């Protein structure tokens, strides 16, 4: 697309750099005031004139051309009008030329981004609290891939700790392998909850759990076999959920993988004089940086999350030579990431600056926080199933003859669940509600999917309009409704870049909603299928471009777009 900001900046004679001037030029909120605007207030001091006088002088001196057809001063702003028919043609041409990959680029060619997300816990239910990290991480994976990066998706499994000693004790006391094979994680979860209910009145269970975990660490055959059984049962179940959510990973190296990789980093920190002893524990003092000490080894010699995360970061840098490593984890872990990032920085790892905590808000239930130990969770598979069932009911009521009805219901239901985690700023807390997630009206994924299907229906009704050899009359697109839609479509590539730079998939979600709403206003205001072939073909190009962008945008969020609904 033509870089209108650069063209405008090159034509203005003001005492700021071209880079700064370009950043000052913004798109207008109201098309009646032009397409781009330069607020002149920041120029008042250097130019020793009022903003109003500056805008008027620059407007008088501005030389229009085939791209920028008008410059107008309004209350200290310099507004610019572009050649709107040219802009429309450029946007539509760019969408068609991209062949389904509009917004993709090679900006990340030769660079690697590691993304640590989802990180399910073995023996624990895959519940709604895992939705945000899974959906955000997966969307970032797809966004960075579209921008040409080599992306490594990492599922840092929670497969280490005394809880596995507890699981073995519970399984040997109350478990049955046949039932566990049949019921899966639900049975393991039942045993885990039962252990914690019995533990207060039977303290000997705690000691037995420690002993069994120690046997896991030492490679005891029975302990290892049970641990691997728990892991297999868990992963078989969660893989079905990942498949439904269109989520993938390239590495499944969890905490246990780094169990034998911690001593090297610990010795390095000792050699650099960073580790001190505190009440028998080994810590790194971070008081100089307004943080509590980073605890690495407890007084009993056991390691902690920070120790394993430090070892994992060092291993990942050696293995993948990443340019950036993202950790998609809730904001409650802010201090943890600040601490171990700082420890790596103090250890002299220059790449510590490339570690990024992509924080997101917590998910809670309407009646309070979730707790795996208490069994107070909403299973993600139940949410997905409920959403798919509701989608099926709506399809049955509105379009019972729809081909592939079950497949479409799956696409719509899964899309609704994913979009619920991607529609708002990731840092926002979410109080989970079935009514909210399963709302198929308004600014939702089903609304986007339906708009895409409507575009396809219009194009199907028109037939092969391009074979008519009738050129589109772009004058039919010179109206406020089409202009707004075209501008939004034209902003899609930059929005994809912004979503990656800010680690914020919701930027794409918001733009897709804007595009869908603008399309429906366009569709209501202007008859697409008409007797005037030239006008019809121009408007059909807008419809086809809209469909392409909606489908690509949804794909970057991990959501499928059914051709018919």
Angle 353-349-118 (CA atoms, 0-180°, nearest 5)? 55
- The full DSSP string for 176-189 is -HHHHHHHTHHHHH
Separation between Cα atoms, residue 434 and residue 415, nearest integer Å: 14
Is the torsion defined by CA of 472, 477, 482, 487 positive or negative? positive
Q: Is the CB of residue 327 less than 8 Å from the CB of residue 116?
A: yes
3-state secondary structure of 290: coil
To the query of whether residue 318 is one of the catalytic residues in this protein, the response is: no
Separation between Cα atoms, residue 483 and residue 96, nearest integer Å: 18
Q: Is the CB of residue 126 less than 8 Å from the CB of residue 134?
A: no
Sequence-ordered list of residues with C-beta below 8 angstroms from that of 211, at least 6 positions apart, any chain: 165
* Structure token pair of residue 114: 């590691």
Identify any residues that bridge with 78 across adjacent strands, giving them in sequence order. Answer: 38, 73
Catalytic residue among 11, 57, 111, 124: 124
Separation between Cα atoms, residue 322 and residue 66, nearest integer Å: 45
Separation between Cα atoms, residue 565 and residue 562, nearest integer Å: 7
Alpha helix ranges (H) inside 49-162: 51-61, 84-98, 131-146
To the query of whether residue 124 is one of the catalytic residues in this protein, the response is: yes
Q: How far apart are the first and last CA of the chain?
A: 33
Catalytic residue among 5, 130, 166, 317: 130
Characterize 88-120 residue by residue with b for buried, 16 or more Cβ atoms within 10 angstroms of its Cβ, and e for exposed.
bbbbbebbeebeeebbbeeebeebbbbbbbbbb
Catalytic residue among 6, 57, 70, 127: 127
Q: Give the position of tokens 């639900």.
A: 186
- Of 17, 75, 12, the closest CA to residue 41 belongs to 75
Angle 332-334-339 (CA atoms, 0-180°, nearest 5)? 135
Q: Give the position of tokens 């202009």.
A: 483
Strands 36-39 and 26-27: antiparallel
3-state secondary structure of 307: helix
Backbone phi, psi, residue 295, to 5°: -80, 125
Catalytic residues, by residue number, are: 124, 127, 130
């Amino acid at each position: 697309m033509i870089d209108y900001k650069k063209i405008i900046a090159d034509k203005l004679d003001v005492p700021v750099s071209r880079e700064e001037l370009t950043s000052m030029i913004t798109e207008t909120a109201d098309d009646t005031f032009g397409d781009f605007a330069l607020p002149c207030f920041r120029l008042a001091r250097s130019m020793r004139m009022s903003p109003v006088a500056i805008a008027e002088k620059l407007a008088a001196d501005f030389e229009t051309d085939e791209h920028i057809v008008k410059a107008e001063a309004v209350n200290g702003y310099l507004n610019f009008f572009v050649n709107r028919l040219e802009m429309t043609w450029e946007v539509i041409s760019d969408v068609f030329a991209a062949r389904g990959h509009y917004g993709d680029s090679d900006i990340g060619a030769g660079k690697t981004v590691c993304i640590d997300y989802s990180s399910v816990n073995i023996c624990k239910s895959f519940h709604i609290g895992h939705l945000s990290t899974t959906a955000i991480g997966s969307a970032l994976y797809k966004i960075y891939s579209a921008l040409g990066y080599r992306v490594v998706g990492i599922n840092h499994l929670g497969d280490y700790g005394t809880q596995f000693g507890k699981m073995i004790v519970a399984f040997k006391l109350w478990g049955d392998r046949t039932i566990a094979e049949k019921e899966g994680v639900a049975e393991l979860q039942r045993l885990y909850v039962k252990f914690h209910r019995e533990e207060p009145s039977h303290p000997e269970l705690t000691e037995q759990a420690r002993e069994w975990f120690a046997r896991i660490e030492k490679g005891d055959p029975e302990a290892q076999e049970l641990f691997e059984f728990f892991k297999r049962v868990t992963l078989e179940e969660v893989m079905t959920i990942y498949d439904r959510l269109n989520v993938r990973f390239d590495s499944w190296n969890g905490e246990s993988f780094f169990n034998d990789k911690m001593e090297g980093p610990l010795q390095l920190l000792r050699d650099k004089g960073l580790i001190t002893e505190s009440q028998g524990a080994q810590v790194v003092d971070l008081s100089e940086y307004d943080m509590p000490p980073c605890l690495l080894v407890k007084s009993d010699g056991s390691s902690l999350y920070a120790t394993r995360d430090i070892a994992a970061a060092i291993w990942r840098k050696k293995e993948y030579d990443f340019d950036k490593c993202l950790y998609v984890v809730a904001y409650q872990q802010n201090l943890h990431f600040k601490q171990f990032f700082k420890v790596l920085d103090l250890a002299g790892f220059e790449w510590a600056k490339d570690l990024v905590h992509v924080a997101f808000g917590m998910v809670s239930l309407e009646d309070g926080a979730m707790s795996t130990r208490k069994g107070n969770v909403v299973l993600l598979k139940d949410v997905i199933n409920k959403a798919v069932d509701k989608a099926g009911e709506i399809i049955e009521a509105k379009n019972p003859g729809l081909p592939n009805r079950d497949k479409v219901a799956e696409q719509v239901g899964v899309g609704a669940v994913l979009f619920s985690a991607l529609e708002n700023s990731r840092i926002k807390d979410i109080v989970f509600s079935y009514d909210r997630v399963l709302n198929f009206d308004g600014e939702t994924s089903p609304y986007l999917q339906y708009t895409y299907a409507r575009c396809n229906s219009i194009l199907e009704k028109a037939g092969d309009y391009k074979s008519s050899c009738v050129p589109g009359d772009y004058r039919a697109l010179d109206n406020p409704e089409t202009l707004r839609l075209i501008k939004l479509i034209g902003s899609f590539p930059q929005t994809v870049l912004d979503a990656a730079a800010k680690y914020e998939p919701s930027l794409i979600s918001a733009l897709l909603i804007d595009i869908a709403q603008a399309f429906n206003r366009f569709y209501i205001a202007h008859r697409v299928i008409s007797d005037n072939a030239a006008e019809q073909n121009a408007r059909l190009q807008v419809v086809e471009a809209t469909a392409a962008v909606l489908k690509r945008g949804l794909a970057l969020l991990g959501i499928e777009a059914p051709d018919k609904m």
